[in-house]
Amino acid sequence: MINKLVEKIKKLNAPIVVGLDPMLSYVPEHIQKAAYEQFGETLEGAGEAIWQFNKAIVDATCDLIPAVKPQIAMYEQFGIEGLKAFKKTVDYCKSKDIIVIGDIKRGDIGSTSTAYAAGHVGRVQVGSKSYAPFDEDFVTVNPYLGTDGVKPFIDVCREENKGIFVLVKTSNKSSGEFQDRLIDGKPLYEIVGEQVAKWGEEHMGESYSYVGAVVGATYPEMGKILRRIMPKTYILVPGYGAQGGKASDLKPYFNEDGLGAIVNSSRGIIAAYRQEKYAEFGEKNFAEASRQAVIDMIDDITSNVF
């Protein structure tokens, strides 16, 4: 799957991923209204609203983007009905040949990580039948529990031709609280990065590993070091745009081949219609605003990075 991701990025000349993280407050009035008319102001109604919102954005951008990254928390907050919208979104994106990175940040002791891996990127056995319940292409994984929390994901990915991105340095403000603490003169994120590189070398696609890393756009100095430590690792870069990361900061995350990183934008794309810059589209044409924001993002990155 990492090979397919690299191919799509090259073909579209777009090292970007759209974060499908639909807060209800992003969903235009008319979509919410239609959903509530059908299902009431219920969790089912909320699920329908975010699903219709996603669908319109995917329809308007699918020819431009290699991948989407739905943040499962934004669906899980609406319980079962929200998770149904998550699953519909995953399936719909895959039907459009968009690669799906499930931003699930799971990670637990071995047998439990095995269950998460089976449910999200693998298969479960029920009697004589087997099923792929959520069936994302990639998922994000939290490394706090060490190798035996991550390895089950890698094992499943090898079998199923899928991949993971391990949290190394996150984009948020307080990420340094534990991740930056020095261990033998090296910050924890470097130690995690070294481990990711090691896992990665043992699990290679053609030119990149299917064990990737998450490194926030908000810390370009650290991105530079981590790029060097993890040369064969694809880096998923959150924090561009709304979180403050600029295209000019992104260069260190890429390798000299122009590959090696994929930059996420969530709010900046899916809620583009609420920005002054795209206000002319109007709320009704939110999906076209998102399309324009994707075009602008690709242009911003390719002209500032390469």
CA-CA distance, 67 to 102, in Å (whole number)?
A: 10
| Residue numbers 205-224 binding a copy of itself by CB under 8 A | none
Q: Is 61 in the site for a copy of itself (CB under 8 A)?
A: no
The DSSP code sequence of 123-152 is -EEETTEEE-SS--SEEEE--TT-HHHHHH
C-beta of 238 vs 260, nearer to a copy of itself: 238
- Report the residue from 17, 57, 167, 289 that binds a copy of itself according to the rule CB under 8 A: 167
Compose the 270-289 pattern: x for residues touching a copy of itself by CB under 8 A, - for all others.
--------------------
Q: Is 172 in the site for a copy of itself (CB under 8 A)?
A: yes
**Residues acting as catalytic residues:** 105
Smallest separation (angstroms) from a copy of itself to the CB of 145: 5
**Which residue from 266, 278, 287, 290 is spatially nearest to 31, judged by alpha carbons?**
287
Beta-ladder partners of 237: 263
Backbone angles phi, psi at 163, to 5 degrees: -155, 170
Which window, 3-11, 122-130, 244-252, 291-299, contacts a copy of itself (CB under 8 A)? 122-130
Q: For the chain, first and last CA: distance in Å?
A: 25
- Report the residue from 183, 206, 221, 303 that binds a copy of itself according to the rule CB under 8 A: 183
Smallest separation (angstroms) from a copy of itself to the CB of 32: 7
- CB count, 10 Å around CB of 29? 9
Q: Is 147 in the site for a copy of itself (CB under 8 A)?
A: yes
Q: Is 79 in the site for a copy of itself (CB under 8 A)?
A: yes
CA-CA distance, 283 to 271, in Å (whole number)?
A: 10
Q: Is 32 in the site for a copy of itself (CB under 8 A)?
A: yes
